[in-house]
Amino acid sequence: METSNHQLAHVIVIPYPSQGHINPLLQFAKRLAAKGVRATLATTANTMQSIHASAAVAVAPISDGFDGTDFAKAGKQGDYLTSIRDHGSKSLAKLLHSYKSAGSPVTCVIYDAFFPWALDVAHRHGAMAAAFFTNSAAVCAIFSHICGGTITLPVNVHHDAPLILPGLPPLNACDVPTFIRNPSSYPAYLAMKLSQFSNLQNADFVFANTFHQLERQEVKSAEKNWPAKLVGPMVPSAYLDGRIEGDKGYGASLWKPLSEQCAAWLNTKPRESVIYVSFGSMVSLTSKQMEEMAWAVKSSASYFLWVVRETEREKLPAGFAESVKGKGLIVSWCNQLEMLAHPAIGCFVTHCGWNSTLEGLALGVPMVALPQWSDQVTDAKFIEEIWGVGVRAKEDEFGVAGREELLYCFKEVMEGESRVKMRSNARKWRELAIEATDEGGTSDTAINEFVMKLKIAVQN
């Protein structure tokens, strides 16, 4: 006999409303739905219209105080966080109440760790609470050590005296998240990072978007203050284990992708002949860095596909797009996973955001790391030195990776002597990512254990 929706374990999943947070949390919701859990993604009015998830995941509104208005009116980051905390708490409470009244109470609220207030709302309404971290285990370990008092801010690091933390490689100044080297640079973001641990001891579950084979030592470093279960990589199933039918994309895009145009262009190029350049949904390069990148891709022996958001396009050198026709394709947005999976792609030039890093690893693509801020610098260190899947572009005294440096990096990954080793390592990490998510893998087992606990809670 079929189980009715009213008897199913029910989770509400609440992401921070940006592309890099919506994607992994929505993917987690799909993983849970595929295992018989009723899943609802609760997101803001300004991002709801961009969610096109499978029928298995419902979408519900949660207020950030700017419903139906231009997100830019939110103002400073600190003001926005206060607004979404105040309005989000009230609207989440109403949502939990409405589901309970409808006879389908929420078993667990899975909240983006940026929203620690969701834990208290969940517990007040009789639901369990699960924190979901969207950074690497290494970065989470660093912040957990700060919150645990092992290290204090600001973290003063010198090349001859790197930061030493248990379970982590020695971190030089260029490897340490920018927020903690210079706490006054982005105080609201730093406060948000640290707030993730403010009431974590009260969470019923803690999850992280990484996998055991990739970061087992880093998890051990932080397990006292951060007892996370690793459930990643949260990449659509079609690119990993293939066990969720039709799961070829995240199901959320704040921009309109041009994937057909990109795929058609890539189909005309030889295997591993194209440099794919993308800096994600939030990074804004300086005009000087854009100029240096433009010169480098134009001078490279390889073809290139460069994602340049419309708001960034004016930073390209005058006449650049016309001058590279045939050699390069410049688009405003595309389905990154489809591009990375294409056999024509030879390397991925990335800002090293955690989602992009995981996608590069999961698809087995070597990388050129060009981190800009925050935890991206730590991810870049691991890409080059720990996982051995790429090279990190060196910046000059003005913080710019020059054209000659970029050209050197392209040659190393596409043509250099270390190319074979990088590709071998990239294939290894892809195989391990598939193994983790496939039936009986470490991430799959962690998800199954969670699902079992949800079902037990419903039965009780």
Q: Which domains does the chain have, with CATH numbers?
A: 5-251+439-459 (3.40.50.2000), 259-433 (3.40.50.2000)
Q: What is the torsional sign of CA 42, 44, 45, 47?
A: negative
* List 10, 64, 112, 212, catalytic entry: 112
What's the rounded Cα separation, in Å, for the pair 283 and 173?
Answer: 21
Q: Using the structure block, give the residue that is written with the tokens 């195989």.
A: 431
Q: How far apart are CA 431 and CA 368, in angstroms?
A: 21
Between CA 131 and CA 35 the distance in angstroms is 20
**Known catalytic residue: 79?**
no
Q: Please give the chain's pLDDT, 460 residues, in tens.
A: 334 455 789 999 999 999 899 999 999 999 999 999 999 999 998 888 888 766 789 999 999 998 866 555 555 777 888 999 999 999 999 999 999 999 999 999 999 999 999 999 999 999 999 999 999 999 999 999 999 998 999 888 877 789 999 999 999 999 999 889 889 888 888 999 999 999 999 999 999 999 999 999 999 989 989 999 999 999 999 999 999 998 988 886 666 666 788 999 999 999 999 999 999 878 889 999 999 999 999 999 999 999 999 999 999 999 999 999 989 999 998 889 999 999 999 999 999 999 999 999 999 999 999 999 999 999 999 999 999 999 999 999 999 999 999 999 999 999 988 999 999 999 999 999 999 999 999 999 999 999 999 999 998 8
Query: 257-269 burial by CB neighbour count: b if 16+ within 10 A, else e?
Result: bbbeebeebbeeb
Token pair belonging to 17: 């409303």
Whether 204 sits among the annotated catalytic residues: the reply is: no
Q: Which of 28, 58, 64 is closest to 46 using CA atoms?
A: 64
Cα separation of 115 and 215, whole Å? 24
